[in-house]
């Protein structure tokens, strides 16, 4: 059974940093691209970033480019999102999602339960 | 960036009725559209991929159709557990992945 468990969310001041983690199990982690998608309170879904299976290629939404870094540790079956220079508009539930293949363009077939990031002074 | 516009924003129906949700793309996305269901406080769940393919474990009352710029999610006979928010998503012109703004399906 595929399981994705996010952690690392919390309260951070504007301008601060946070690192999210997503522990994956139930599938061969290195064979699948992974993504982060966020949802601001009461709003819709917004893609944030994606990474290929071996981590060679990464992609970012314009809204986070230069501030967020996606990475993965395939030896630990864990996906990360390093978030720097956080802004009020970054406040959201952050979901990690598994692509249905090694291609970053594949459908997001499984999602974790999300972790809440609150940006406030 | 491809913009997806979902209609209606809110759909009020009764259990047993048929639901038809629409998603229109600002340019052709071929058949690279997925539909997700999200219940309050839960993560999105994949229902349909590549416009018309049901994901594993999804009941047959859910069906998807369309290609190019116009897509439809149909729920043939609503069950109480189907009342939720539904999002369409395209992966044709990537990055970025884009989502529609959602359709809220509520009990009438």
Task: Give the sign of the dihedral formed by CA A51, CA A120, CA A42, CA B70.
Answer: negative
For strands B62-67 and B70-75, give the pairing. Answer: antiparallel
For B97, counting Cβ atoms within 10 Å of its Cβ (0-12 exposed, 13-18 middle, 19+ buried), the class is: buried
For residue B99, what is the nearest residue in chain A, using CA coordinates? A45
Q: Report which of A119, A48, A120 is spatially closest to residue A80, judged by C-alpha positions.
A: A48
Q: How does DSSP classify residue A53?
A: T
Minimal Cα–Cα distance from A104 to chain B, Å?
9
Joined tokens for residue B98: 């884009």
A54, pLDDT greater than 90? yes
Per-residue pLDDT of A19-38, as tens digits, reads 999 999 999 999 999 999 99
CB contact under 8 A, B49 and A114: no
Local confidence band at B60 (pLDDT 50, 70, 90 cut-offs): very high
Residue-wise burial string across A8-33, b where 16 or more C-beta atoms lie within 10 A, e elsewhere? bbeebeeeeebebbbbbeebebeebb
Distance CA A48, CA B12 (A): 31
Residue B96 CB contacts under 8 Å (≥ 6 apart), including other chains: A47, A59, A61, A62, B1
Which residues 6+ apart lie within 8 Å of B70 measured at CB? B22, B23, B24, B25
pLDDT band for position B95 (cuts 50, 70, 90): confident
Tokens of A120: 């406030």
**Cβ neighbours of A59 in B, within 8 Å:** 95-96
What does the mean pLDDT of chain A come to?
Answer: 96
pLDDT of residue A104: 87
């Amino acid at each position: 059974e595929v399981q994705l468990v996010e952690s690392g969310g919390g309260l951070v001041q504007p301008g601060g940093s946070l690192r999210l983690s997503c522990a994956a199990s139930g599938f061969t982690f290195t064979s699948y691209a992974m993504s982060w998608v966020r949802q601001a309170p009461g709003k819709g879904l917004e893609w944030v970033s994606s990474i290929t299976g071996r981590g060679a290629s990464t992609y970012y939404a314009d809204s986070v480019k230069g501030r967020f870094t996606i990475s993965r540790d395939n030896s630990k079956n864990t996906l990360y999102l390093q978030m720097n220079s956080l802004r009020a508009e970054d406040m959201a539930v952050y979901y990690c999602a598994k692509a249905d293949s090694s291609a970053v363009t594949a459908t997001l077939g499984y999602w974790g339960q999300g972790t809440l990031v609150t940006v406030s002074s | 960036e491809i913009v997806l516009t979902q209609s209606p924003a809110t759909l009020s129906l009764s259990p047993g009725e048929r639901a038809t949700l629409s998603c229109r793309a600002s340019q052709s996305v071929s058949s690279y559209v997925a539909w997700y269901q999200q219940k309050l406080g839960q993560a999105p769940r994949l229902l349909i991929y590549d416009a018309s393919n049901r994901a594993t474990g999804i009941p047959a009352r859910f069906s998807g159709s369309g290609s190019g710029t116009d897509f439809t999610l149909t729920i043939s006979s609503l069950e109480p557990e189907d009342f939720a928010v539904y999002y369409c998503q395209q992966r044709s012109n990537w990055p970025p992945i884009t989502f529609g703004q959602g359709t809220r399906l509520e009990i009438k």
